[in-house]
Every structure is written in structure tokens, then in C-alpha cells.
Amino acid sequence: MLGVCRGRRKFLAASLTLLCIPAITWLYLFAGSFEDGKPVSLSPLEAQPHSPRYTASSQRERESLEVRVREVEEENRALRRQLSLAQGRSPSHRRGNHSKTYSMEEGTGDSENLRAGIVAGNSSECGQQPVVEKCETIHVAIVCAGYNASRDVVTLVKSVLFHRRNPLHFHLIADSIAEQILATLFQTWMVPAVRVDFYNADELKSEVSWIPNKHYSGIYGLMKLVLTKTLPANLERVIVLDTDITFATDIAELWAVFHKFKGQQVLGLVENQSDWYLGNLWKNHRPWPALGRGYNTGVILLLLDKLRKMKWEQMWRLTAERELMGMLSTSLADQPLNQQSNLSSHSFLSRRLRMDDMGFLCEDIFNAVIKQNPFLVYQLPCFWNVQLSDHTRSEQCYRDVSDLKVIHWNSPKKLRVKNKHVEFFRNLYLTFLEYDGNLLRRELFGCPSEADVNSENLQKQLSELDEDDLCYEFRRERFTVHRTHLYFLHYEYEPASDNTDVTLVAQLSMDRLQMLEAICKHWEGPVSLALYLSDAEAQQFLRYAQGSEVLMGRHNVAYHIVYKEGQFYPVNLLRNVAMKHVGTPYMFLSDIDFLPMYGLYEYLRKSVIQLDLANTKKAMIVPAFETLRYRLSFPKSKAELLSMLDMGTLFTFRYHVWTKGHAPTNFAKWRTATTPYRVEWEADFEPYVVVRRDCPEYDRRFVGFGWNKVAHIMELDAQEYEFIVLPNAYMIHMPHAPSFDITKFRSNKQYRICLKTLKEEFQQDMSRRYGFAALKYLTAENNS
């Protein structure tokens, strides 16, 4: 019906134009042919050069009028041709829109003429702009692999969520690393009206692995080619985005462009803004074939249903094979005959592709297909993909800030790219990079969200709390879901074959970053850290880590970001996050303010075997000491430590403020001990221990300062762990300013009252779980 209306409007417009233009033209000419009320001759045959009325200016006026007449006549002839074509097509419009069916062979011809036709077809609009329904779901596909790309995806998603007004469904084609990171992130982000599905990229490698590439990880960039097979068969359309994209507008505007596709247009792309495909960048530059400047695949609109019907899979495979073979023959021709027999086809192709990563190769294949089949593409306005790489025409895509839609950081230089407006683009990117993601947890009014069991359970638990309770904020923190980004930096670790490996576990905030380098120097084994940071602080940490040779030289340190929310420091949640992602059989549960003795990692691995931790419930205690000096000559042996202890340079940990915390370690016995010895649990005991990975978690009700470790050691004792002190192990607490939470504990009476209440409730829970054996904790507490 829409096609019929458009056809009739065009027919009427053309008819009126034909009638009006000649009449207006001749009125204009007739009026202009009188001078001082007398007619002026237009014909050169009637001109009288010797007449006094004949002047140079009148001659020029007559010539310009004659030129205008010829132009009008030419326009009239063009309009008549268009009208006759419209009349010839009008019967088919009345019957319906029957598009011509093109074959791959029909897509060949003069590329410039074809491209001009495409641009002209794309620029025509009729009627109002199409709109997206209020609660229509917008589907977005992103290919993501590895740790760095996962960080980039977060910034992209933030920019989309910031502007969006519609439900979103993200389809993430991810490797195992990215899936683990992003699945946890979205699960803890809990953004309403957002659904996320993952597709195993590793299972898709066989689809594209036949294409030569310079490194194995580059294969993921080719997976945009197989989205028709990967995504659900009932998904009709999807927006495909690179991870280095930033949105400056509502993504629904881009989704609405699908309504402008006509005929067999199935790909929405922006023209490449560099000269790459023009083939003139350097001598012997031989890019893949492309239509004109080619198209950039950072933003793609895919009509999946039509692509499947067109047999897209066969189309791109045949094109890629043909072009790769052509590159092979060209490479062979460039080699001396005596070398050709010694080189394989794969090595030739790999050499030809060495300058491109797989993202570019994917773009090459798309462009080669479009070159042969130009009817497939709908050219998007270039503000939908402003490509910020050096020497591009990106500045022609916008005149004002309001023109910007999508920014594409497709240069290896990223934020250091050359562009006269790069400062504005950089600030826009940094805004989303450091934007508080918690603020994006906003409901879409009028759009029902899918039922989320986790969200419903959380709301139920919160509704059962008494908001008038003076300890409400403490109780509420236990149920707060903190957004969590696992493995914020690259992590690489091969577990030891003897199953004795130990991971150091700790948690920290921004004010303890300076301890990281020192710990890495003291502990060579794997580390699992949970960092409590805001979005802006996470970026500061990233810059700090990337600027540190020590930290960048260690790939076996896992950094897990838990984003700030609420007024308390969730110390036990942080410990649980770090514990949960330990990849070794054993864990050393430490704190960030402690430096382990040199060689402790290897000593603990030997002790694991000696004490048979694999088959017994034991908690190996590492005795804790402290210094009040910011500069300390760290003891290299137990003998040196004992000497410093005698001299008053070192002390047993918290002996002057909280003796009960470590008194059961029996430091007097430790001084002369040469073999491990067992100690009994006592009230308020909170040593630092090495345990199996399957030990119980920390209790989340304890936040900030107080009882967070005590409760955990109590639970270990309730589960019948033996506490064994290691005779030749030690750790030293380094001085620091008091934390905000300990200051609150000391100054706020209500804080201390709530902590006591939580302790009592924890002990009651212990009695319910462990029965008669747990009565000793109540007795010990009353006697202490």
C-alpha cells in the first residue's frame, strides 16, 4: 500500500512540474523581453549592432537568457522521460512491489556508475521519518574476545544505555574469557529491559579458520561473516558493532534506518573515510577490490532473514576463495622462479596479510562481495560511523556537535589520533569510560521487563527488612548486588602439575594501590585481588598498572573490580569475589597491608605436601607481625626477624590494641619451634591462614571494620578444621593511615551497637547450623 501511495505521489508531482515549469519560464522570458515598455529582440538575427540601444550589457543579458532557455528545455525533456518511465511502471506498483532479482553475475559492471546509483537511491526519502515502536526490542551483536576487548565492550554498552529508550537484546559472540567476564558483569549490573545471550566463539572457529591469518587470536575478527548461521533463525535484523564504538545518540535512530531498505538491500554500511581501498597509499599497494572508497564494517545493519535467503554463506565464501587465490597468483608472480617451488601458498597469503589484522580482513571480504553485488548495500550517512583514524575524511561527516551519531576509534592510536576536534571526541569517550554504571539501572517506563528470578528474590529479601531498624543499612548491605568486572587486566597462568600451588588472596581500595608492587616483589606465585573502586577510579588504576613495569611484568595477578555502591566497605564480599576466582588448589587468605616473607610461596607449597592438606581439614597459620616504620629493612630470615623483634623494630600484630586477635598463635612457642604445631581456637581469634579452595566463604553481614575475619575463623573451627602454625613462615603488616571504616567504628556509638547485634545474630545462626558443637562460641563470648 505504501508503495502505491508513493508511486501516485511521484506521478502527480512530475505531471504538475511539467505543466508549471514551461508556463513560469515563458512568463519570466516575456517579462524580461521588455525594456522601457518596448519589446527587445532575443534573436541574434534581429540584433542591430549599430543601433544606439545596442550595448554590451544587453548583449550579455540576451546570451544568458538564451542559455537559461536551453537549460529549461533540457530539464523538461528529462522530466518527460521520467514521467514516461513512471507511467510504464505504475501498473506493477498497483499490483505490488515486484523487485528485480539480481544474480551475482549481474552485479558486475562499471563500479562508479553503479555506486552513483546506489547513493542516489539512498538519498531519496518520501513522507515522514520511520519511527521505532516504544517498547520494540533492539538487537545488537558484538564480537568480543579476550580481556582488553571486554573492557571496551563496557564503554560501548554504557554509551548505548545512556541514550536508549527501548529494550535491548545484546548478542555477544565471545570466547570463554570474554563470556566469563561479561556474563558476571551483566548479571551483577542488573539493568532493566536488557537481555544478553552468549554464543561460543570457539565453536565457530572452524567456519573461518581456513582463511590464512598471522596469529591465532585474529580469527575472532572474521566472525561477523557467520552471523547468519550463529544468531537465532527467527532473528530478522540486527545491528553489528565493533567494540571501539561510542554512541552519541539513541540507538533506536539507527534501528529505524532498516525501514529505508529497498529491494534487495540487506547491508547498511558507511563509506570508508580513508584512502585504503583506492590503492594509492604506497608503491605496489594492492588492496582488496571495493566499490569506490569501500565500506567500513565498524557499524553494520544486517537484514538476516534476507541474507539467509540469498545464501550469504556461499556468497562470501566463494568471493573470499577467489580473491585469496588471486593474491596467491600475484605473490607467485612477484617471486623469482627458483623461490616459488620452496614457498607454500599459506606462507604467501600470510605474508600478504601480515599488515592486516582479522578485523580488516573481514572488512575486505565484505567489500569484495559488495563490489560484485552492489545492490546489497544501503549506504548510511557517514555520521553513523565517524572514523577517527589518521588521514581520513571524517571531518566532512559533521558540521556541528549535534550531527554526531557514532564515533569509531578505529586507529591503533585510539585517543591520540589526529583530528582537529579530537579533544571533544576524547572528552566524550572519557565521559562514558568513567561514568557511574550504577546510574544506568533505570526502568523504561511503560515497557514491561522480563521476569528475572534474581531480581525478584532480591526485592523480596529487601522487603522483609524493617526500614525503621537502626541497623537497617547494615542489614541491607548484605543483599546489595555490586557490579563486578572480573579479570580487568590480562591474566595468564599455568597451574603447577604437582597440585600444590597456592594463590595469595586479598582485597583493597584506591588508597592501598601502592602496596601492589611490593607484594609482587615478595610473592612470585599467583594472586587474586578484589578492588573496590568507582568507575573513574578503575580507570585511574588501569593507568597506574599500565605505567608500572613490575605490574605489567606479572601476568599471574588477577584484578577483579567490584564497583562502589552504598556507604559501607563490603570487605567480606570482596574477599569472596577474590576467593571464588582462585585457580589453584590452595589459598593464602591475606590482607593487602601485609608483605609476606621472601620465599613464602615455595615454603607454603612444601608445607602443603608435608601436612597433607589435600586429604585433611587443616588451616596453616602464617604468624603476623607489624612495624610502625614506613621504611623497613625487611628481615630475610626468621633469625633476623627475631632480632628485630627483640630490638623493638617489629612487634607481634596488634599486641597493643587487640591482643586476643593473634594470641592463640603462641608467639613464645613459635620463637623456638622447628616443626609445625597445633593450636586451639579461642574467642576473637583471627589469624591469616592457608586453606583448600573449597573452604567456606566469609559472612557478608560483616561490613567495614569489625568481626569480618573473626566470624570466618569461627566457622572454620565449627567445620572441624585443625589450626597448624608454620614454624618458619611470617608476614609483616606495613603502617598506613586509619581507614574510614575504623574511624567510624571508633567515633560512632550506633556503629558499635549494630556490630554487636550482628555478632549475636551470627552466633545464633551458627547454633542452628552446627547444633550442640556451636554452644562453645556463645560460652567463649560471654567469658571474654
> How far is the CA of 685 from the CAs of 42, 268, 668, 693, in angstroms?
112, 65, 17, 21
Rg (CA), the chain: 36
Backbone angles phi, psi at 618, to 5 degrees: -130, 145
Note whether 269 and 300 are within 8 A (CB).
yes
Q: 692 forms bridges with which residues in the sheet? A: 586
Note whether 470 and 476 are within 8 A (CB).
no
Number of other CB atoms surrounding residue 647 within 10 Å: 8
pLDDT at site 227 = 95
Q: Is 189 exposed, middle or buried (0-12, 13-18, 19+ CB in 10 A)?
A: buried
pLDDT at site 259 = 95
Q: Is 75 exposed, middle or buried (0-12, 13-18, 19+ CB in 10 A)?
A: middle
Q: ∠ CA(152), CA(157), CA(159), 5° rounding?
A: 100
pTM (2 d.p.):
0.78
pLDDT at site 378 = 96
The C-alpha cell that represents 69 in the structure block: 532557455
Q: How far apart are CA 531 and CA 541, in angstroms?
A: 9
Question: Residue written as cell 515522514?
Answer: 128
Beta-sheet pairing, 237-241 with 138-144: parallel
Note whether 117 and 379 are within 8 A (CB).
no
Q: How far apart are CA 299 and CA 251, in angstroms?
A: 11
Q: How far apart are CA 264 and CA 310, in angstroms?
A: 9
Domains and CATH numbers, the chain: 138-332+356-440 (3.90.550.10), 484-777 (3.90.550.10)
pLDDT at site 412 = 56
Q: What is the DSSP letter of 420?
A: T
Instruction: Kindly provide the b/e burial profile for residues 17-27, where b requires at least 16 CB atoms within 10 angstroms of the residue's own CB.
Output: eeeeeeeebee
| Best CA proximity match to 597, nearest among 572, 578, 559, 624 | 624
Averages of pLDDT over each 10 residues, the chain, 784 residues = 48 51 45 42 38 48 58 56 47 36 33 38 46 92 93 96 95 96 96 95 87 63 91 96 93 96 94 74 68 89 95 91 71 43 41 45 87 93 84 68 80 59 80 93 82 72 77 85 96 89 96 94 97 96 95 96 93 97 96 96 96 95 92 93 94 86 95 96 94 95 88 94 97 83 77 88 88 76 59
Q: What is the DSSP string of 532-593?
A: EE-HHHHHHHHHHHHT-HHHHT-SSEEEEEEE--SSS--HHHHHHHHHHT--SSEEEE--TT
Q: ∠ CA(120), CA(124), CA(129), 5° rounding?
A: 145
What amino acid occupies position 113?
N
Q: 652 forms bridges with which residues in the sheet? A: 625
Q: How far apart are CA 178 and CA 194, in angstroms?
A: 18
Q: How far apart are CA 476 and CA 705, in angstroms?
A: 16
Note whether 221 and 356 are within 8 A (CB).
no
Beta-sheet pairing, 624-626 with 722-725: unpaired
Note whether 79 and 17 are within 8 A (CB).
yes
Beta-sheet pairing, 527-533 with 502-509: parallel
Beta-sheet pairing, 377-380 with 267-271: parallel
Residue 245: in which H helix or E strand, if any?
Answer: strand 245-247
Q: 586 forms bridges with which residues in the sheet? A: 502, 692
Note whether 700 and 594 are within 8 A (CB).
no
Q: ∠ CA(617), CA(520), CA(729), 5° rounding?
A: 40
Q: What is the DSSP string of 149-192?
A: HHHHHHHHHHHHHHH--S-EEEEEEE-HHHHHHHHHHHHHH--T
Q: ∠ CA(420), CA(425), CA(426), 5° rounding?
A: 105
